A and B are shown apart, each in its own frame.
Chain A
Amino acid sequence: MLNRQGRPTQAGDAAAERHETFTGNRALQQIEPLIFEIGHHETTGVDIDKPAPFKSRLGKHARKGEIGLPGLSEPEAMRHYVRLSQKNYGIDTGLFPLGSCTMKHNARLNEKMARLPGFSDVHPLQPLSTVPGALDVMLELARYLMTLTGMPAVALSPKAGAHGEACGMMAIKAAIEAKGEAATRNVVLVPESAHGTNPATAALIGFSVKAVPARPDGTVAVEDVKALLGPEVAAIMLTNPNTCGIFEPQIVEIAAAMHEAGAYFYCDGANFNAIVGKARPGDLGVDAMHINLHKTFSTPHGGGGPGAGPVVLSERLAPFAPVPFIHVENGKSRLVEHKAEAPEGNDPFGRMTAFHGQMGMYVRALAYMLSHGSDGMKQASEDAVLNANYIRAGLADLMSLPFPDHPSMHEALFDDEWLKGTGVSTLDFAKAMIDEGYHPMTVYFPLVVHGAMLIEPTESESKASLDLFIATLRDLAIAAKGNDKTRFTAAPHHAPIRRLDETRAARQPVLKWEKPQPVAKAAE
């Protein structure tokens, strides 16, 4: 008999031959089934008293059959979750060069601050008089964000990057409506190299999207933007530094052209980590920009807490900022929860979140800012850029650069020109990195670069760590060019699960868990 995962249940099962070990485990790397596959309905690790006799008022809605919850003993439940936690890969286990979203420096001090009971145990509905400290943190964080970006207003509540994009674009829409141009201004320009969320956000809010072509050097030209401008254009959504890792050289001219045409400039702040303390979006002519706190001020994905995406706004958009926000008047602060309570001159477009946003992230971000100081934050940006260029310099002779003429900002971008004729693809190369113990970099994005490999180490890595990473990629690159194809096309060889069939997963997705049924051994 084999169980549903195709694993043997008794000695001599043929399935055992398909694995290197009888259990499928590799020493202490253990295969972990789903909790529903371990548990039994008949058992439970908790003693629950039999309910006293009662009269049900559910009538025909009362459920009589099995609920189907898995029952586990305490040690079983403990092992299940500990084993799962050991499978996590994040900044605390190794280099994870997807971007600052997974690599941002994640100081433990921030966690300690976020766990202070005055922050971690507050409830959004408790009386304001009991949480002055929390309000102070929000005010202070807002002040720092406005200072670092050179912008006069900030909406703290959006919960992550794309949510922040939606907030900024809704503020732009509200401003356009206030000018009476809602019916005619409905086009948003998005460069070809943009994050996919940009056109998605614009479309979600009801704008139609027009693509701005990318120049051969990976940047956006002001002439190309001007050619698309007209009375129907509401805004441009531009990332800076862009997704090719280049600081847009004409960003100031692009902003001016947008404003001259009566349109707005939304900047995607996903890559803000590269320019903190070096350039202020407000000085570049930005009208709205989200800041991924988790990419710029600690707590990357895989490193703890959730995301948060506050949006800084220009003078022109500030009146439309969503509630809730803290309004300070004559040295007294109050929380504005409803449009009717908004001070004179404010016209909030609505509300993005049920409550006040990610309090825990506010604390972590502020702790990061206060512990690093302005000099420390600036140095973090410089180190992030230096590290990306160190990787670029260490690999440029073996791998190919699509934009050799521009220095890199926060990330080193390679294309697959150097793999031509080797029979190894970008995907194969990425999978081989898993065998070496590295999470692969971003691949096949940005779309404007063929077979893109986008590496962002951030400031978190030491020189020794970068040297080992570069040496590993050099070894892989030499092997790829030296016809050692199987190291790549069959990779990963050493991961708990080998190459997944992405095509079948996308064409015939299995979206529902079904109760395991023992299957009889196939007749031989």
Chain B
Amino acid sequence: MSETRYTKDHEYIRIEGDTGTVGISDYAQGQLGDVVFVELPSIGKALSKGGEAAVVESVKAASEVYAPVSGEVVAVNNELEAAPGTVNEDPAGKGWFLKIKLTDAAELDGLMSEAEYQDYVKSL
């Protein structure tokens, strides 16, 4: 059973057990425009909630991707190096950034649900 939660900075985290897959939302990729470069952390790196997890660069700007929760990086999507456009084509699927092993599942409570996030995006 997986569940997706969102941050105000437009990262998503899809929870499966004690790990979560992190990426940027469809809204975020649309705002960024064509993604041309993604910088991913190394596996094993400890991330803290709200800290920098990755960097995404589009033709318009470079932005940080923040960790939605604290934890350890257990996998990164190396495919993005050769094909950064995947972030635009399939942000919720093949365009994922990294997988994180959660330190504190309670941190998820502060994040938005799918419905809450959609309302939030509409308000922008």
B-contacting residues of A (Cβ < 8 Å)? 444, 447, 502-503, 506-507
Tell me the complex Cα distance, A474–B48, Å: 49
A-contacting residues of B (Cβ < 8 Å)? 34, 36-37, 59-61, 84-85
Closest CB in chain A relative to B67 CB, distance in Å: 15
Quick check: A503 and B61 within 8 Å, CB to CB? Answer: no
Chain B residues within an 8 Å CB radius of A444: 60-61
Chain B residues within an 8 Å CB radius of A507: 34, 36, 84-85
Closest CB in chain B relative to A54 CB, distance in Å: 51
Chain B residues within an 8 Å CB radius of A447: 61
Chain A residues within an 8 Å CB radius of B37: 506
Residue ID in chain A nearest B31 by CB atoms: A450
Chain A residues within an 8 Å CB radius of B36: 503, 506-507
Closest CB in chain A relative to B95 CB, distance in Å: 15
Tell me the complex Cα distance, A507–B37, Å: 8
Tell me the complex Cα distance, A444–B58, Å: 12
Tell me the complex Cα distance, A443–B15, Å: 38
Quick check: B59 and A502 within 8 Å, CB to CB? Answer: yes
Q: Kindly name the residue among A447, A502, A503 whose own CB sees the greatest number of chain B CB atoms within 10 A.
A: A503
User: Could you list 17 A-B pairs, sorted by A, with CB under 8 Å?
Assistant: A444-B60, A444-B61, A447-B61, A502-B34, A502-B59, A503-B34, A503-B36, A503-B59, A503-B85, A506-B34, A506-B36, A506-B37, A506-B59, A507-B34, A507-B36, A507-B84, A507-B85
Chain B residues within an 8 Å CB radius of A506: 34, 36-37, 59
Residue ID in chain A nearest B88 by CB atoms: A503
Q: Kindly name the residue among A444, A447, A507 whose own CB sees the greatest number of chain B CB atoms within 10 A.
A: A507
Closest CB in chain B relative to A464 CB, distance in Å: 34
Tell me the complex Cα distance, A507–B89, Å: 15
Chain A residues within an 8 Å CB radius of B59: 502-503, 506
Tell me the complex Cα distance, A337–B41, Å: 44
Chain B residues within an 8 Å CB radius of A503: 34, 36, 59, 85
Tell me the complex Cα distance, A502–B60, Å: 10
Closest CB in chain B relative to A125 CB, distance in Å: 42
Closest CB in chain B relative to A371 CB, distance in Å: 40
Tell me the complex Cα distance, A329–B59, Å: 54
Tell me the complex Cα distance, A34–B1, Å: 60
Closest CB in chain A relative to B80 CB, distance in Å: 12
Tell me the complex Cα distance, A447–B31, Å: 12
Chain A residues within an 8 Å CB radius of B85: 503, 507
Residue ID in chain B nearest A506 by CB atoms: B36
Chain A residues within an 8 Å CB radius of B84: 507
Tell me the complex Cα distance, A506–B36, Å: 6
Residue ID in chain A nearest B84 by CB atoms: A507
Closest CB in chain A relative to B9 CB, distance in Å: 12
Residue ID in chain A nearest B33 by CB atoms: A503
Tell me the complex Cα distance, A477–B124, Å: 24
Residue ID in chain A nearest B63 by CB atoms: A447
Tell me the complex Cα distance, A502–B58, Å: 10
Tell me the complex Cα distance, A502–B37, Å: 13
Chain A residues within an 8 Å CB radius of B60: 444
Closest CB in chain A relative to B88 CB, distance in Å: 9
Tell me the complex Cα distance, A503–B58, Å: 8
Residue ID in chain B nearest A196 by CB atoms: B62
* Given A502-B34, A506-B34, A506-B37; 7 other pairs, CB 8 A cutoff: A444-B60, A444-B61, A447-B61, A502-B59, A503-B36, A503-B85, A507-B84
Tell me the complex Cα distance, A444–B63, Å: 13
Closest CB in chain B relative to A419 CB, distance in Å: 15
Chain A residues within an 8 Å CB radius of B61: 444, 447
Closest CB in chain A relative to B31 CB, distance in Å: 9
Tell me the complex Cα distance, A503–B60, Å: 10
Chain B residues within an 8 Å CB radius of A502: 34, 59
Closest 3 CB pairs of A and B: A506-B36, A503-B34, A502-B59
Chain A residues within an 8 Å CB radius of B34: 502-503, 506-507
Residue ID in chain A nearest B37 by CB atoms: A506
Residue ID in chain B nearest A509 by CB atoms: B36
Q: Kindly name the residue among B37, B60, B61 whose own CB sees the greatest number of chain A CB atoms within 10 A.
A: B60
Tell me the complex Cα distance, A506–B37, Å: 8
Tell me the complex Cα distance, A444–B84, Å: 21
Tell me the complex Cα distance, A502–B36, Å: 10
Residue ID in chain A nearest B64 by CB atoms: A211
Closest CB in chain A relative to B102 CB, distance in Å: 25
Closest CB in chain A relative to B4 CB, distance in Å: 26
Closest CB in chain B relative to A270 CB, distance in Å: 19
Tell me the complex Cα distance, A119–B84, Å: 51
Closest CB in chain A relative to B45 CB, distance in Å: 16
Tell me the complex Cα distance, A506–B33, Å: 13
Closest CB in chain A relative to B14 CB, distance in Å: 27
Closest CB in chain A relative to B77 CB, distance in Å: 17
Tell me the complex Cα distance, A19–B59, Å: 28
Tell me the complex Cα distance, A503–B36, Å: 7
Closest CB in chain A relative to B101 CB, distance in Å: 25
Tell me the complex Cα distance, A395–B85, Å: 37
Residue ID in chain A nearest B83 by CB atoms: A507
Tell me the complex Cα distance, A502–B84, Å: 14
Tell me the complex Cα distance, A507–B86, Å: 12
Tell me the complex Cα distance, A506–B85, Å: 11
Tell me the complex Cα distance, A502–B35, Å: 11
